[in-house]
Amino acid sequence: MDLKEKILKLKQEKGALILAHNYQLPEIQDVADIVGDSLELSRAAANRKPKLIVFCGVIFMAETAKILSPTSKVLIPSLSAGCFLADTVTAEDVKRLRQEYPDAIFVAYVNTSAEVKAEVDICCTSANAVEVVQRLPEDRPVVFLPDRNLGNYVQRVSGRSDIILWEKGYCYVHEHIRKEDVLTRKQEYPEAKVIAHPECKPEVLELSDVIASTSGMIRYAMESSAKTFIICTEREMTYRLKKDLPEKEFIPVSESATCKTMKTVTLERLYRALQDEVYEVNLAEDIIERAKGSIDRMLEVL
Ligand code: SF4
């Protein structure tokens, strides 16, 4: 039996649910029950109420699954699977900013720790950030955490000039995608549509035909009559797209757009996670409750 078969057998024996983020290695996506973006996966898990969830992604994602499924045992196969972006802001930073901007409404992207989610007023995803901000009261400024590129995009599209950005916050994978990378790919594939994630820099977004979250990318590619797409986000997203739409062509904007910590989840580590039930995500009850409040408020306004 190869490792994939062993994982599938063990998963069945234990009644576990394997979730894989769109940026996971192809072999991990292949053994997962559900592949998707972080909130989509956590919400799907909450609906199924499994005993055991193995989250193949980064730590804040597994925390979100725990927040939405507090009675399930949630495992993350790699303790090195942190998120550079989420780590740019702490709960202490939020408390300090609250003193600096006492009237502001605090919005946190889901790419934040559970502790940060517990300190803010409302969460958002890359798919709904514009809508969430547009629905907030207009007589109070908004502090948008932590991704400055997503915040910048929200500022531009929502037309709100009172958004305070967290300048330290960016995702290095998206930040390193250059406009030259897009221009080179456009020369190679002149007929292709360019789809960019809003975590990319403004100069990359300007060159794109569509700006979309990972789930939005799938939807757009499915509905579009175009056959070729240049994908400006983490490289592995093209694997997910090719699997869903084999008749279309998806080109990563840059082969080096890769999230190193995501790739620390390997088949070996996934097998070990299932076998030994490691590493369990544990959160204090009050953090779960307050962080869930921020996620629920996001779901309520949409
Ligand atoms: S791609 Fe960026 S935002 Fe996503 S997990 Fe990796 S570092 Fe974090």
Q: What is the mean pLDDT of residues 264-292?
A: 98
Q: What is the mean pLDDT of residues 241-255?
A: 98
Atom of ligand 1 nearest to the CA of 147: 3
Q: Is residue 159 classed exposed, middle or buried when 0-12, 13-18 and 19+ CB atoms within 10 A define those classes?
A: exposed
Identify the CATH number of the domain defined by range 86-171+288-301: 3.40.50.10800
Per-residue pLDDT of 183-238, as tens digits, reads 999 999 999 999 999 999 999 999 999 999 999 999 999 999 999 999 999 999 99
Pick the CATH number of 3-82+262-283 from 3.30.70.360, 3.40.50.300, 3.40.50.10800, 3.30.70.270: 3.40.50.10800
Pocket residues: Cβ below 6 A from ligand 1 = 23, 58, 83-85, 111, 171, 173, 234, 259, 262
CB 250 within 8 A of CB 241: yes
d(CA 130, CA 296): 17
CB 272 within 8 A of CB 77: yes
Per-residue pLDDT of 122-170, as tens digits, reads 999 999 999 999 999 999 999 999 999 999 999 999 999 999 999 999 9
Q: Beta strand pairing status for 193-196 and 163-165? A: unpaired
**What DSSP string runs through 108-162?**
EESSS-HHHHHHSSEEE-TTTHHHHHHTS-TTS-EEEES-HHHHHHHHHHH--S-
Record the tokens describing residue 82, joined without a space: 């942190």
Cα-to-centroid distance, 85 and ligand 1 (Å): 6
- pLDDT for residue 301 is more than 90: no
Nearest Cα to Cα of residue 250 among 232, 228, 234? 228
Cα-to-centroid distance, 256 and ligand 1 (Å): 14
Per-residue pLDDT of 108-122, as tens digits, reads 999 999 999 999 999
Average pLDDT, the chain: 97
pLDDT score, position 132: 97
CB 107 within 8 A of CB 143: yes
- If DSSP codes are grouped into helix, strand and coil, which group holds residue 69? coil
Cα–Cα distance list, 226 to 67, 118, 229, 240, 249 (Å): 39, 42, 8, 18, 9
Q: Is residue 173 classed exposed, middle or buried when 0-12, 13-18 and 19+ CB atoms within 10 A define those classes?
A: buried
Question: Which of 56, 145, 234 most suits a substitution to test ligand 1, by most atoms within 8 Å of the C-beta?
Answer: 234
The domain defined by 177-252 folds into Rossmann fold (3.40.50)
Per-residue pLDDT of 34-44, as tens digits, reads 999 999 999 99
**Percentage, residues of the chain above pLDDT 70:** 100
Cα–Cα distance list, 105 to 123, 162, 189, 203 (Å): 11, 11, 43, 28
Reported pTM: 0.98
Q: Is residue 276 classed exposed, middle or buried when 0-12, 13-18 and 19+ CB atoms within 10 A define those classes?
A: exposed
pLDDT score, position 302: 76
Owner of token pair 């921020």? 294
- Delimit the domains of the chain by residue range: 3-82+262-283, 86-171+288-301, 177-252
Q: Report H helices in 141-260.
A: 148-158, 172-175, 179-188, 202-206, 214-223, 237-244
CB 238 within 8 A of CB 55: no
CB 110 within 8 A of CB 64: yes
Per-residue confidence at 47, pLDDT binned at 50, 70, 90? very high
